[in-house]
Structure 1
Amino acid sequence: MNKKVLSSSYIGIESFLVDVEVDISNGLPIFSIIGLGDTAISESKDRIRTALKNSNFKLEPKKIIVNLSPAGIKKEGAHFDLPIAVGIMTTMGFIKDRYNILENYLFLGELSLTGEIKRVNGALNSVIFAKENGYKGVVLPFENYQEASLIRGVDIIPVKNLQEVGEFISKNIIHTIQEKIIPNIPEEEIDFSDVKGQAMAKRALEIAAAGKHNLILIGSPGSGKSMLCKRITTILPPLTEKETIESTKIYSIAGELSEKRPIINTPPFRAPHHTSTPISIIGGGKKFTPGEISLASNGVLFLDELGEFPRSVLESLRQPLEEQVLSISRAQYRVNFKTNFIFLAATNPCECGYAFEPSGRCTCTQTEINKYMKKISGPIMDRIDLHVEMRRLSEEELMSYKPSESSREIRERVIKARTIQKLRFGNEEFCNGNMTQKQLKKYCQLSEENKEYFKKVIQTLEISARGFDKILKVARTIADLAESKNIEKEHLMEALSFRKK
């Protein structure tokens, strides 16, 4: 006898259907799984056999063959435990499929030796796949319910053990669950009102948040570069429903979700250390795992001590920064990861870090300063919209207790500017930082007087074509923050103050 149970797997973030075919016959007692499964799948035989025994399903000595189809695609993960167990339970007659459950539902879940069903990665992807392909629903671990419930229009059947699975298939019994309130990430005790001085850097972060512009802070140790960058999340607008699903999908595949954070409902902030490997930053590897730049999508990627990152890592950021997508190709597969993030970077101006300080504390020669800054290539710097030089605070600024603008006040302006951009582009996720050449010509027109002024600046500063576009995009965002329909000279001048070349 044989049965087919539906499940799914994924390459990158794209899911595909997997037919779990189970055939049980008389013969030499063996348990074989074929179909290009990884080590976790090959080891599932002992987990499944023990889980069935401890759930009071006694296996007879039979020849059990399990095929994971399509057999030509590599499959990974322990989430095939449940569909294989269900195939064995129905084929051996332990449970009867009286309601055609196996034809209409996808199954996924990892089994413990006691028969409990444990959390798996990529559950949200399977639910999206089920909805897009007309399946009625998905049977999955109870721990994955919160993330799966983000998708409407498809049945989510959370189960805790094999007994509950059997009751659903044979009796269509769905155990009621008590809705858990999705925990909000507690607001961090950080605010822009805590920051003393550094008005230009704070303004640059506001512009970056409003138009999704990339930003680099170059300054002395202790000037507040990292402190300021960590506060950008306090002025970002909340994620849209689409962005929440996208981010949760990526985090689900990467195994970054937990009971405390079952969904990603706030803008992600990723700050990898400079010793991180290229694959951990970019993504890929044998399993096409999302990297930090994908996990930062819809949020912020912050690279502190930018010059200390391997050059190979920095150069690989070129395409993601320009196109908001990362393509990874292998001999048999090609995957795309979304990389629509705000890129923040911080670095010292020289080896000792004090090149900007007037005290003469810097011990570096001009040659050493140039060599240090050349660790960050010109093409990377050209892709960063806002360049800000920071110096350490003076004694007066340090001792000042004058209250500065709060994150809430800045955030209100950012949301207003984003609303203007939504009306302009007809897309709530598209911002000025993403504008194409056609959109630049349409929305960044200058008066004749401003054209002449800009022409002189380009000649003086020797600005590249990409730099020209970046200045216009920043000026457009500054105008939006000022609620101005046109880009005026003061907007251009401010945008130029954030561009060194």
Structure 2
Amino acid sequence: MNKRVLSSSYLGVESFLIEVEVDISNGLPNFSIIGLGDTAISESKDRIKTALKNSGFKLEPKKIIVNLSPAGIRKEGSHFDLPIAIGIMLVMGFIKDRYNTIDNYLFLGELSLNGDVKRIRGALNSVIFAKENGYKGVVLPLENFQEATLIKGINIVPVENLNDVVNFISKNIVKSVQTKIIEKNDENLMDFLDVKGQSMAKRALEIAAAGKHNIILIGSPGSGKSMLCKRITTILPPLNEKEIIESTKIYSIAGELTESKPIISSPPFRSPHHTSTPVSIVGGGKKVIPGEISLASGGVLFLDELAEFPRSVLESLRQPLEDGIVSISRAQYRVEFKSNFIFVAATNPCPCGYALEPTGKCICTQTEINKYIKKISGPIMDRIDLHVEMRRLNENELLTYQSGDSSKIIRERVIKARAIQKERFGDDIYNGMMSQKDIQKYCTLSDENREYFKKVIQTLQISARGYDKILKVARTIADLAGSNDIEKEHLMEAVSFRENSIN
């Protein structure tokens, strides 16, 4: 006798249907799982038998064969424990499917030895798949309930243990769960007011946040580069519902959701160390999971001490910075992860860090300075919209500190500028992501400005990509000023963020 229980698996962030077929017959006692499962799946036999025994279900010595269909696709993860256990209980008569539940619900969950159902990866992705394909609902661990409820219009059945599953299938009893209200704590947040001076760098970060532009701060140790970069999330608008779902999907697949952080409700901020490997940054590995650039999607990827990162890591950022996605190919499949982030970087201008200081404190030769800064290749610098040089404050600037605008005030300006862009492009497109067609339509220049820009291109030897970047930044500056047209002062300010003494 055999039974079929529905579940799902995923490649990248896309889920697909898995049919868990269970056949039990007389013969030598044996338990085998077929269908290209990984180590976690092959080890599930002992977990399932022990969980059933400790939940009060005594297994008879039978020949048990479990097939995960389609058999030709590699499957990974421990979330097949629950559907396999349900299939066994159905065949052995421990459960009666009186409400035709098995054909209308997907089942996901890892089992502990005492029969508890534990948190899994990719629950949100499976819920989206179930809704899109017309299933009635999803049965999943209680710990995944909060993220699953982001998707409306589908039944979510949280279970804490195997007995909860039996009650649902046999008696249609659903465990009552109080949805937690996740409140954002705005107290003790970092603020732009914490950083003294550096008005140009603050202005550049405001522009970057408003138009989703990439930015690099080049400056001396102690000039406030890291402090400012870590505060950029305080001026970003809140995520909308679509962005929350997209970010939570990626974090769910990566296994980064916790009980205290069941959903990603604010823009992510990722700051990997410079010793990180290319796989940890881009994603991939033996079991393909998202990297830092995908986990930063919808928020900020901050690379501090950029010149200290391995060249292979920096060069791997080229495609994500240009296309907003990262593609990872394997022999039998190819997956794509979204990587729509604001790239924020900070670096010293030389090995000792003081090349920009007027005091002559720098001890590096010009050759050492050139070698250090060239660790960041030209193509990478060309993909960064805003280049800002920062010097340390002198004693007078430190003692006569004048506070600038707070993060709250800057954030309001950013939200207004983004509202203009939303009206112009619709959702999901910002000035920093404009196509050539958009640039031609929305970044027109007067004859006077065109002549000025022509001289700038000749003097700074700006590339075609750099030309586009300046126009995109100028468009954002105009939006912050509430101007329909790009005026000369907007263009001049955009140019000032493209030229510096290091490059």
Q: What TM-score results when the alignment is normalised by the length of structure 2?
A: 0.98
Q: How far apart are residue 114 of structure 1 and its match?
A: 0.7
Structure 1 equivalent of residue 308 of structure 2? 308
Structure 1 equivalent of residue 483 of structure 2? 484
Q: How far apart are residue 182 of structure 1 and its match?
A: 2.1
1:171 aligns with 2:171: yes
For the residue of structure 1 that corresponds to 2:249, the secondary structure is: helix
For the residue of structure 2 that corresponds to 1:204, the secondary structure is: helix
Q: How far apart are residue 183 of structure 1 and its match?
A: 4.3
Matched AA of 2:477: I
Structure 2 equivalent of residue 198 of structure 1? 198
Question: Do 1:303 and 1:344's aligned partners in 2 also have CA atoms closer than 8 Å?
Answer: yes
Unaligned runs of 5+ in 2: none
Question: C-alpha distance in 1, partners of 2:100/2:184?
Answer: 39
Question: C-alpha distance in 2, partners of 1:422/1:478?
Answer: 16
Question: C-alpha distance in 1, partners of 2:39/2:183?
Answer: 35
Matched AA of 2:441: K
Question: C-alpha distance in 2, partners of 1:328/1:121?
Answer: 19
Structure 1 equivalent of residue 162 of structure 2? 162
Q: How far apart are residue 433 of structure 1 and its match?
A: 0.1
Structure 1 equivalent of residue 458 of structure 2? 459
Question: C-alpha distance in 1, partners of 2:131/2:382?
Answer: 42
Matched AA of 1:380: I
Distance 1:75 1:58, change over 3 A: same
Deviations 1:186-219 (A, max 9, x none): 5543101111110000000000000000000000
Question: Do 1:196 and 1:400's aligned partners in 2 also have CA atoms closer than 8 Å?
Answer: no
Deviations 1:12-69 (A, max 9, x none): 1111100000000000000101111111111111111011011111101100000001
Structure 2 equivalent of residue 390 of structure 1? 390
Q: How far apart are residue 288 of structure 1 and its match?
A: 1.1
Structure 1 equivalent of residue 189 of structure 2? 189
Structure 2 equivalent of residue 70 of structure 1? 70
Matches of residues 55-134 of structure 1 in structure 2 within 5 Å?
Answer: 55-134=55-134
Matches of residues 326-405 of structure 1 in structure 2 within 5 Å?
Answer: 326-405=326-405
Structure 2 equivalent of residue 318 of structure 1? 318
Matched AA of 2:66: V
Identity of aligned residues (%): 79
Question: Do 1:12 and 1:288's aligned partners in 2 also have CA atoms closer than 8 Å?
Answer: yes
Question: C-alpha distance in 2, partners of 1:472/1:321?
Answer: 18
Deviations 1:108-135 (A, max 9, x none): 0010111111100100010000001111
Unaligned runs of 5+ in 1: none
Q: How far apart are residue 396 of structure 1 and its match?
A: 1.4
Question: C-alpha distance in 2, partners of 1:304/1:297?
Answer: 18
Q: How far apart are residue 185 of structure 1 and its match?
A: 5.0
Structure 1 equivalent of residue 473 of structure 2? 474
Q: How far apart are residue 180 of structure 1 and its match?
A: 1.6
Question: Do 1:183 and 1:260's aligned partners in 2 also have CA atoms closer than 8 Å?
Answer: no
Matched AA of 1:490: E
Matched AA of 1:8: S
Matched AA of 1:239: L
Q: How far apart are residue 400 of structure 1 and its match?
A: 2.6
Question: C-alpha distance in 2, partners of 1:122/1:188?
Answer: 32
Structure 2 equivalent of residue 51 of structure 1? 51
Q: How far apart are residue 328 of structure 1 and its match?
A: 1.0
Question: Do 1:183 and 1:261's aligned partners in 2 also have CA atoms closer than 8 Å?
Answer: no
Question: Do 2:197 and 2:402's aligned partners in 1 also have CA atoms closer than 8 Å?
Answer: no
Question: C-alpha distance in 1, partners of 2:309/2:159?
Answer: 45
Question: Do 1:236 and 1:414's aligned partners in 2 also have CA atoms closer than 8 Å?
Answer: yes
Q: How far apart are residue 301 of structure 1 and its match?
A: 0.2
Structure 1 equivalent of residue 423 of structure 2? 423
Which is worse superposed, 184-193 or 164-173? Answer: 184-193
Distance 1:433 1:39, change over 3 A: same
Matched AA of 1:473: K
Question: C-alpha distance in 2, partners of 1:339/1:255?
Answer: 17
Question: C-alpha distance in 2, partners of 1:76/1:211?
Answer: 39
Question: C-alpha distance in 2, partners of 1:28/1:486?
Answer: 81
1:494 aligns with 2:493: yes
Structure 2 equivalent of residue 445 of structure 1? 444
Question: C-alpha distance in 1, partners of 2:353/2:230?
Answer: 21
Q: How far apart are residue 426 of structure 1 and its match?
A: 1.8
For the residue of structure 2 that corresponds to 1:396, the secondary structure is: helix
Question: C-alpha distance in 2, partners of 1:33/1:85?
Answer: 12
Question: C-alpha distance in 2, partners of 1:112/1:329?
Answer: 34
Distance 1:265 1:216, change over 3 A: same
Question: C-alpha distance in 2, partners of 1:497/1:177?
Answer: 56
Question: C-alpha distance in 2, partners of 1:97/1:358?
Answer: 80
Question: C-alpha distance in 1, partners of 2:185/2:265?
Answer: 9
For the residue of structure 1 that corresponds to 2:231, the secondary structure is: helix
Question: Do 2:269 and 2:296's aligned partners in 1 also have CA atoms closer than 8 Å?
Answer: yes
Question: Do 2:197 and 2:403's aligned partners in 1 also have CA atoms closer than 8 Å?
Answer: no
Q: How far apart are residue 184 of structure 1 and its match?
A: 2.7
Structure 2 equivalent of residue 433 of structure 1? 432
Matched AA of 1:462: Q
Question: C-alpha distance in 1, partners of 2:186/2:439?
Answer: 39
Q: How far apart are residue 443 of structure 1 and its match?
A: 0.2
Structure 1 equivalent of residue 214 of structure 2? 214
Distance 1:437 1:274, change over 3 A: same
Distance 1:63 1:185, change over 3 A: farther
1:17 aligns with 2:17: yes
Matched AA of 1:283: G
Deviations 1:248-277 (A, max 9, x none): 000000000000000000000000000011
Question: C-alpha distance in 2, partners of 1:179/1:388?
Answer: 45
Q: How far apart are residue 404 of structure 1 and its match?
A: 2.0
Question: Do 2:300 and 2:344's aligned partners in 1 also have CA atoms closer than 8 Å?
Answer: yes
Question: C-alpha distance in 1, partners of 2:179/2:412?
Answer: 33
Deviations 1:449-478 (A, max 9, x none): 110111111111110000000000000000
Matched AA of 2:301: L
For the residue of structure 2 that corresponds to 1:101, the secondary structure is: coil
Distance 1:248 1:187, change over 3 A: farther
For the residue of structure 2 that corresponds to 1:96, the secondary structure is: coil
